[in-house]
Structures are given as C-alpha cells and as structure tokens.
Amino acid sequence: MNCRHCAHPLQHVFLDLGYAPPSNAYLTREDLSRPEKHFPLRVRVCEACWLVQTEDYAQADELFNAEYAYFSSTSTGWLAHARRYAQDMSRRLALNAESLVIEVASNDGYLLRNFIEMGVPCLGIEPTDSTAEAAERLGIPVLREFFGRALGERLAREGRQADLIAGNNVYAHVPDINDFTQGLQAALKPAGTITLEFPHVMQLIRQVQFDTVYHEHFSYLSLYTVQRIFGAAGLRIFDVQTLDTHGGSLRVFGCHETDGRPSTDAVEHVLAQEAAAGLRDLDTYLGFQQRADRVKDDLLAFLLEQKKAGRKVVAYGAAAKGNTLLNYAGIKPDLLPLVCDAAAAKQGKFMPGSHIPILAPDALAESRPDFVLILPWNIAPEVRRQNASLAERGVRFVTAVPGLVVQ
C-alpha cells in the first residue's frame, strides 16, 4: 500500500487490532442469525509525510449507509460546543443574510441549526439518509452526497461558493483526503474561510486512545501533515486552536494560498509541540502497540475479576470507540451483559462483533450494577453527572483509557 496523500510506500505498522466489523454497523436481532462482515483493522504510518492511515479494506459506502446510527445531537456537551463555535464564527467573519455557510458531514443539523437561527443561509452536505432527514426537519437544506472535488467544483459553477466551510470530525473519515481537500478549495469563496476539527494524533499517542481507531477513521492527523495536504491543494492554514473535544482535537483555519491574512503564532507553536512529542520520529509510532495492549489487558483482567467475585458490570455509551475496545479485547455479554445509550436509533440493537444488547438509559438503574463502564471516556464527566443517583447508591464508574480508573 502507498500513502493516501504522498504515494510513498507504507512499510511501518503503527497499530494492529486484528479483525473487526465496522464500528457503527449496529445489528438488529435478525442480523444475529446472519454472517457478520469483519475487516482487518490495521494502521500504518508514512515516514515521508507522517500521515497515519488505515489499510485499504472497507469501502465508504459500506460504512456510511442508510442505517448509520451516529447522531451528533445526542450529546448535550457537543451541542453546546457547536453553539459556541457558530457564535464565534459569526462574529469573527461578520456573517449575515448575504453569506453562505456550508457544513460537510452536517449529520443531524446539530451545528447548522445555529446559523439558521441567526438568519445566515447554509447548506448541509450529508450522505447518510437517517441523519440528513433529521437536519431537513430543522429547515436545513441538505445535499445527500459524499463530498469531494467533483461536488466542490459543481457548487462553484452553480455560484454556491461559501464564506465559511465547516467540517467537524469528517476529515479523518474520508478515504481520498486529497480529493476531499481539493473540493474544499473549489467550494471556497476567494476570501472565504475553512475550519476543520479532528482528533489530534499527538493526543491519541499520549493518551493511548487506540479505541478511536476504527474503519470509519481512514486518517489520524497532525497539524504538520494537514498543513502539507492543504498546501498541495492550493490552501494555507493561517490559524489553529487546541480543543478538549474527543480527547484532544485541533481546529484548523484555512484559506486560499493567495489570501493576505497573516498566519498566527499558534501555528508555529503547535508545530513545535508536535516535533517535541516525536511526531516526526518513527520510534514514537513503533512503540504504540505495546501500550495499547496494556490498556486492553487491564480492562479484561478487571472484568474477569468482577465476574469471579459475583459483581455486575454494565456499560454506558454504545460508541464506536467502545466497539473497537470490546472487539479487540474479545469482550462478550458474559462479561458485560448490556450497554445503555441515549440515542434512540441504537436502542434495541446490538453492538457489532460483541453482540451486547443496547438498551435505553433507564436500564442502568434497573439492572442494579456494581460498576458502570463508560465506553465514550471523552464524555465521562457528563455521564457521571447524569447518573449521580447511581453513585449515591454505591455504584462506581469505570473508564479504561488511557488507563483503568475506578471512581
């Protein structure tokens, strides 16, 4: 396999998680009687441009289909994050009724609903029917297509170039990152702004966030690498912000390479942080597998210990990262009998691979657990607050990443 960005031969494995089903391919009861597709889940690193990337197996249309069950509005914390962003960008870019905001991977309208309320015209691009329908019910116009160069050029021909193009947690999900970036360039007005948010590979390595690796994530990104990809497409990163979301993310601000806006000191600061963290040192990547295995082994040992002692552990959050962790550890319903989730689209279904049933949050208290394993550790404080009554009854909360913590 050659690098998806620079075509350099990929010779080094960053992480090998064996075989797993797509992490958002939730199962119905009928599906349990059918064969389940598994793909190799192996990640390589390019020593030329330092793009960390999954091997080519799964196809995008198999990962993001009509049954795709991730709805961004499920998390109240994420909704608040989106509202703050919309307010900030509206002020920063002086957006008004003459502007156009495009969001790529607009999901259920969690972000664009804020611009609609401000009277700023917007357009969502979302290939998944279930989430696109939710956005359209909010009055958001949606193109149900995958985004890339062809669509970006079509929007330009139609006079629909954007003042702001937003992409939150989509950049890592695109199989052809060069084509996608060329689409951003084509769809952007001459003085327009692009913002992309994505998990920072520096934090993935520091915090052993191997459970954020799944087939839907084709790339694991640093500012250094994204700067190279933007440059190849005629774009320039002029600012960057570090965020706490998803275990540590970057928000990059891009413009056309001919744009006169100066670059901020933050760009050089983050690049220096990455260099100090060894993100351009091959040994940093080659030592990660052992650290991931330790997290997996510690969780499995904990669950086995509780089973032997007759104590009950259930889970909260049927998140994709949880599926990666459970499948790599080989955890089944005998160790973790149920997982609760607030997303109605997931309730009544089963986790891919592990086949653990997904129930509504009410089942947490009804199951009378001794421990609740919070699979989406990035929203653990929110989950603990929402279930404070369980803690008052002596239930303890557990997270596995970056190391086993029982509270």
Q: For each of the domains in the chain, give its residue range(s) and CATH number, in order of start.
A: 146-285 (3.40.50.150), 289-406 (3.40.50.720)
Give pLDDT, residue 83.
96
Q: Is 307 helix (H, G, I), strand (E, B) or coil?
A: helix
- Which sign, positive or negative, has the C-alpha torsion 255, 258, 261, 267? positive
Q: Quickly count: other Cβ atoms within 10 Å of residue 330's Cβ.
A: 12
Residue 282, judged by CB atoms within 10 A of its CB (0-12, 13-18, 19+), counts as middle
Question: For residue 204, which amino acid is it?
Answer: L
Question: Which parts of the chain register pLDDT below 50?
Answer: none
- Return the residue matching tokens 């979302």: 126
Give pLDDT, residue 67.
54
pTM for the predicted model, two decimal places: 0.89
Per-residue pLDDT reduced to its tens digit, 91-105? 999 999 999 999 999
Give the containing element (helix H, strand E) for 289. helix 288-308
Per-residue pLDDT reduced to its tens digit, 280-301? 999 999 999 999 999 999 999 9
Give pLDDT, residue 247.
86
Give pLDDT, residue 268.
98
